[in-house]
Chain A
Amino acid sequence: MSAAFDARVRAALGNPLLKIAIDRTTGTARTKRAAAMAAWPEFAEARVLGRDIKDHVIAHLDHYLIEFERNALASGARVHWARTGQEACDIVVKICQDAGARSVTRAKSMLGEEIGLPHALADAGIERVETDLAEHIIQLAGDPPSHIVWPALHKTREQVAALFRAHHTDPGAMETVEQMVASARRVLREKFMAADVGISGANFLVADTGAICTVTNEGNAELTTTPPRVHIVTAGIEKLVPTTSHAMALLRLLVRSATGAELTQYTTFHCGPKQSGDRDGPAEFHIVLVDAGRTKMLDDGLAEMLRCLRCGACLNHCVVYRQIGGHAYGATYPGPMGSVLTPALTNLADSVDLPRACTLNGQCEEVCPVAIPLPTLLRGWRDRSWREGLEPVPLRAGMRLWRFMVQRPALNRIGTNMALLAMRLFARRGWIRSMPLAGGWTAHRDFPAPQGPSFLTQIRSRGKQ
């Protein structure tokens, strides 16, 4: 385990409030998702359809990207192409500067986090106002998101109340969630109306209309994208779908998997800038299509990961995420999907703990609405780590010795018997409380002493009788 990962894990496990916060949100999410799935007998078929839609688009990305661009341009949007996150940030900042923007509102977008857009805006001296309630919370706290659907999941409501009291002008009472939301609404409302540019992500890019789709439960995306003169969309190229009905098929999967609801409160298709006769809408509508490692994932055998809808179900059901939370992963995307994505989007050497720190229990794949074989992809990173020599030397040496032994039954028998003998020396009344080389186990649990001679030894001696 790298020292940095170890330190983050320690910090997380040593924070009892974090565990309470994780359990509250992921527990509710699991319960609601389970209820939604129980009430949806066609889930299995819908999942196959969702998987096939995404696989089809990913296999024909070139076709749909060009179709999308053609239709977006026809709607009056401007389309920008970014090979890297840096290029995408540069494009966004340039658009903001050209618009003379001092203040931008932003609707939650994980892609924005991935490409470092908040930093890029800060570096350009542009005020950034996060409008998603949870993003607002973590902006006040100065934290990165800890979950892809609930970025402020690591904060308890008591901590949020304290933050609002400290940061909101005229905060008022903070006893109930309603009072807290009302206070945030007062603060954000002014910002919504004053912003020069609104920046959003996209849940879907619809190729045959050139529209983009956002889903929120707070309506903040609509308030982010409608009043300002300029709306900028940043979206990963894997967000393409052929038509609106394909987006609908995926929405059914996305929303139920994320929150257990049948649909989000707000599902909006944004198509082009304000037209003559429109009562509102941005004068300029920019779409930044971002690759940032996605086409490379196609070459690296990670095409299935490009199906991901960012629903967060794999995080909510992951035993590791549920103990350490999002920040311990040290990456934009935590949990199982993040542990597959992060080595692809950054590099394996710096993130090799992520695919390793997994029990391969398979619950993530089971709940994934587009059937991404997450454990298989995590194994793929382990295989690559082994091939590239990133596994620690003692492990490699131990594995070589083990392999030598298990290929030789007689030697293996002797080795097993010696190990059993050693264990019996450390055992007291059936249990071993500590033993050399077993600290990882016995630091936290007792190790049951072996019953006696090995099974094969007993079978052999029976055969000889």
Chain B
Amino acid sequence: MIEAAGIRKAYGATLVLDDVSLTLPAGQCLALLGPNGAGKTTLLRILAGLVRPSAGRLRVGGADAVRDPEAVRAQVGMVAHGSFVYEDLTARENLRFWAVMGGLDASPARLRERLQAVELDAVADERARTFSAGMKRRLGLARVTLGRRPLLLLDEPFSGLDRHGQKWLVEFLLAFKAAGGTVVLTTHSFGGGLSVADRVVILAGGRVLLDRAAADLPIDELHRIYDDIVEGAAAS
């Protein structure tokens, strides 16, 4: 699903990503870990076709992200930090807006079904302004599942979610994967990330410092490796 080779991104003299290479088959989940400023969000935006890499090759679902970012975007469902939520619209109105914009089924029944799926049906007609960060994230997930996008990109999906919300998200992502969907998520929640990820990548200073199967990484081991790698990168 994702084939990235030698991805580099610089903003002026600031190098954000340096020689990032990774592959991810369809139906798998990749968890991107790393300290703040490691380049996780930038990598996610490059994978979404929203940011053009300065160098390197990237194919998403067979489409060349540099030559044809529109074809990449058509395959991507993304929940960013802000969740693409209009504060002065209700949950239902937000979903209706994005459904029509995406050329998807915006019928009341479909919107109700999606809101039920993310457990927001009880507050469907309340303005998003009154929602907590976790509720906005759920609304974002309802939005991306309106269609059948094969690749889900999630930026810090576990932040702002309570214990029940985290559990719900893990179940949601496992079901998405089981249906053949591919997921890339950034997270600081090692437990949440490991419970859905097939692969774990640690980014620090814009470089991939670890790329390993999640099954080979018990959480204690991951904590130890992460601390060693990140502290080592910071020291150098």
Q: Note whether A and B form a binding pair.
A: no
